[in-house]
Amino acid sequence: MTDAISSILSQIRAHEARTREGPGSAIDVGGLGNVGKPGGTGETAPANGAGFGQLLSRAIDNVSQTQANAGALQTAFELGDPRADLARTMVAMQQAQVAFRATVEVRNRLVQAYQDVMNMPV
């Protein structure tokens, strides 16, 4: 179980590092949007002034955007757009799946932590 958690955490860190690299590292599929870059710009606000709620909200928005980009790429591939090849479509879909699974794992950990705190004797 800890190996799986370590793997997910390393994937989250790698994804976060890619989003901080800048817009040049995104996969741009000829006007279909940047795949692998939530929000498409690659720019993130500094975390100094952001609270936990804002950070969590931004992370969920990034996962949603990643899923939307993968969906758009999948639709373009299904419609026969030559700019959307199978490899990019599959990579985008896998990135969206990993991001979603990581989000669910974080949610489960937060719920477990909340339950642990609520069950503590005072």
pLDDT digits (tens, 9 = 90+) for 70-88: 999 999 999 998 888 899 9
Higher-pLDDT residue of 8, 64: 64
pLDDT of residue 105: 94
Of the CA atoms within 13 Å of residue 65, those in its CB half-sphere come to 18
pLDDT of residue 25: 44
The separation between the first and the last C-alpha atoms of the chain, rounded to the nearest angstrom, is: 31
Distances (CA, A) of 72 to 14, 23, 101: 23, 19, 20
Check residue 97 and give left, alpha or beta (phi > 0: left; psi -120 to 50: alpha). Answer: alpha
Average pLDDT over residues 98-107: 93
Global pTM? 0.57
Instruction: State percent of the chain over pLDDT 90.
Output: 46
How far apart CA 43 and CA 24 sit, in angstroms, is 11
What is the rounded average pLDDT for all residues in the chain? 78
Extract the tokens encoding 86: 């199978």
Domain limits, the chain:
52-122
